[in-house]
Structure 1
Amino acid sequence: MTAVRRAVIATALLATTALALPVAISAHAAESAVICSRGSDVTGFSPGLDPVTRKDQVVTHLDTGSLCSGATVPGLTSFVGAFSGASSNIYCGGPTGSDSLGSGVEILAWNDGSTSTWKFDGPSLDHSPSGTYVDFHGRITAGRYQGLKPSGRLPRQDAPPGGCETVPLESVRGTGEWEFTP
């Protein structure tokens, strides 16, 4: 094979690869979003959120997700994660308002034995006349799905509308959807 013929073949291969690369990148990006349509969270507060007085709290989360789709690994369908940490100077915020629950790191354990390290920043306890929610945000910093951003807005099923006007709130539970996006 002559040098000219090798150069032509090499150029053709490079051009074909260059044309295919954006398609491969787009397909990978589309596959990297994961939605767990059955999600839950239990958030605990100790000594309990007061309706008026701000207090330091030990905050715990137990998060689960199942019926996950879009996972790039066949059979990867669920996770469980737990967190415990301290948050300063928070309260229920009255009938409306929002309080940051601080930041922390939670390890999500997937059903195939892999893990994701989730650094969440500023999950918030939001109160509105329609109910109480915990909003979660952050980024996967290591492990499975590194770089994706988990999020969830889980309505609190056992919190009174508007928060905790009359009693300290020690825990809230909710179900919703977890989403992991690029």
Structure 2
Amino acid sequence: MRTTLIVTAVLSVFATTASAGSFDTPYALSAIHQDFLTQLKGTADEAGEVGNAARAAVSVLEPHVELEESVVLPFLSFSEAVRGGNASVVPEIPERLERLKAELPQLLDAKTNGIGTLVDLYAVADSEGRPEIVQLAERMIWHETIDAEILYPAAVLVGQAAQASMVGTTSGATPGP
């Protein structure tokens, strides 16, 4: 298992480098989302209150993750290009950045709703003595909080830096700090 994880991590570094310059969610983030959703859907297949709470969480989180991976997280794949001053090769950055800024309030509302469903799952699993589901809900809550507090602002910053890089490249000026 550990060898598989190491090989996957190494391959993802090469995949990330190869995909720099395209609007794809970084592999590591996409893999985490898929792992969490797979576990959550497995729990949703159960009968009873735990299954009901998991189904409610899936119904909110699955479409949210799809939107997040199409609007927010792809900007993070440009971090290295922006740092190296090579982001100007992606002409659709300004339009995508405007979409990100426009949809951010709705994404944050959906994030809050998703965390609420995970808190409900946590409470039900805890009351039914299901520590593995409690741990899943808790890890997902942490992840969703990281998205909202760190990854969303980082995506906006990368998008703004990329756009500034484009302006600096097209006008001949150098972007500011």
TM-score (norm 1): 0.22
Query: Which structure shows the bigger proportion of residues in helix conformation?
Result: 2
Higher gyration radius (CA):
1
TM-score (norm 2): 0.23
| Larger RCO (CA within 8 A; separation ≥ 6) | 2
